């Protein structure tokens, strides 16, 4: 008899605040297709229930998320493009091809927060980071490109140079640098990030809900208009990238022999790859 699979996204209500938890700590909260679908359903609940005014997104365990489970999501992304991240609900947590949820979302991040973690942060409204957070937009090191919104939201929200510094290098950045460039709004001691995010969410929830939602909607107007052309370009470009030789090379396991590791270090490279050009 198979044991029941636990919810990949847990839902808890705290007054007018909806707590949404990514529940896969044994895999560093990597997102598979089921997790994406459940997160979309959670955002739908936040958007639909009149008594809910603010969402808080967090990850269980030591890490927020290691990113996509590419073995599960990769084939679907190659076929469907960025639509794969939207889930099947009305509201798209990444706000790429579907509507953004009309209520504020506060995100609490800690530990490893790679790839889609940054994109969920950029699509949210307030980000609270633990002081041990490790951000990384790693796609170009894997032979692909970000497709959850980082390519157009990061330049707009963080500044062109700050965005390109990390989008084009796949370098990690920590809490202090994330605060400097505006990716996060507060840095707190590790272990307190969720309580601080909930505290801010409660303050927002105490305000007039129609005014909050109207303010959020108006603030998003310019950003949405600027992003539409980028979204269309992403839809056209992504399938070719995901089917490319570079993508196959980027997802190929690196040899773990000392010779390969030593050669990689001498070249100053973190990963030994043979790209197509």
Query: Side-chain half-sphere of 201: how many Cα atoms within 13 Å?
Result: 30
More confident residue, 145 or 269: 145
Are 184 and 109 in contact, with CB atoms under 8 Å apart? yes
Is there a domain that residue 239 lies in? no
> Number of structural domains, the chain?
1
> What is the pTM for the complete model shown?
0.91
Is there a domain that residue 45 lies in? yes
Is there a domain that residue 259 lies in? no
Is there a domain that residue 271 lies in? no
Domain with 154 in it: 9-210
- What is the rounded average pLDDT of the residues 126-131? 98
More confident residue, 70 or 190: 190
d(CA 231, CA 152): 8
Task: Look at 153-157, 186-190, 264-268, 273-277 and tell me which has the smallest mean pLDDT.
Answer: 264-268
pLDDT of 102 strictly over 90: yes
What pLDDT digit, counting tens, does each position of 177-234 carry? 999 999 999 999 999 999 999 999 999 999 999 999 999 999 999 777 778 889 899 9
Query: Side-chain half-sphere of 136: how many Cα atoms within 13 Å?
Result: 18
What pLDDT digit, counting tens, does each position of 31-62 carry? 999 999 999 999 999 999 999 999 999 999 99
Is there a domain that residue 171 lies in? yes
Is there a domain that residue 248 lies in? no
Are 122 and 154 in contact, with CB atoms under 8 Å apart? yes
Is there a domain that residue 145 lies in? yes
| Residue whose token pair is 């973190």 | 270
Residue 99's beta-bridge partner residues?
91
Are 80 and 36 in contact, with CB atoms under 8 Å apart? no
Q: How confident is the model at residue 170 (pLDDT cuts 50, 70, 90)?
A: very high
Is there a domain that residue 55 lies in? yes
Can you give the CATH number for the domain in which 171 is found? 3.90.226.10
| Residue whose token pair is 């929830």 | 205
């Amino acid at each position: 008899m198979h044991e029941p699979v636990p919810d990949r996204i847990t839902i808890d209500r705290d007054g007018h605040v909806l707590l949404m938890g990514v529940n896969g700590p044994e895999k560093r909260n990597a997102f598979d297709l089921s997790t994406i679908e459940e997160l979309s359903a959670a955002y739908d609940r936040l958007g639909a229930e009149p008594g809910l005014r603010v969402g808080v997104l967090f990850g269980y365990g030591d890490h927020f998320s290691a990113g996509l489970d590419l073995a599960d999501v990769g084939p679907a992304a190659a076929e469907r493009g960025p639509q794969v991240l939207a889930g099947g609900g009305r509201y798209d947590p990444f706000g790429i091809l579907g509507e953004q949820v009309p209520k504020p979302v506060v995100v609490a991040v800690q530990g490893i927060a790679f790839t889609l973690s940054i994109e969920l942060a950029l699509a949210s409204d307030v980000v609270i980071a633990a002081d041990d957070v490790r951000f990384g937009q790693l796609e170009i090191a894997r032979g692909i490109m970000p497709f959850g919104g980082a390519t157009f939201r990061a330049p707009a929200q963080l500044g062109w140079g700050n965005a390109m510094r990390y989008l084009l290098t796949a370098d990690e950045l920590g809490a202090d640098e994330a605060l400097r460039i505006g990716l996060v709004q507060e840095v707190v001691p590790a272990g307190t990030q969720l309580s601080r995010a909930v505290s801010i969410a409660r303050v927002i929830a105490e305000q007039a809900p129609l005014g909050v939602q109207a303010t959020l909607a108006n603030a998003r107007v310019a950003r949405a208009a600027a992003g539409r052309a980028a979204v269309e370009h992403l839809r056209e470009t992504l399938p070719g990238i995901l089917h490319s030789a570079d993508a196959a090379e980027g997802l190929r396991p690196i040899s773990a022999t000392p010779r390969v590791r030593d050669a990689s270090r001498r070249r100053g490279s973190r990963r030994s790859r043979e790209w197509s050009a």
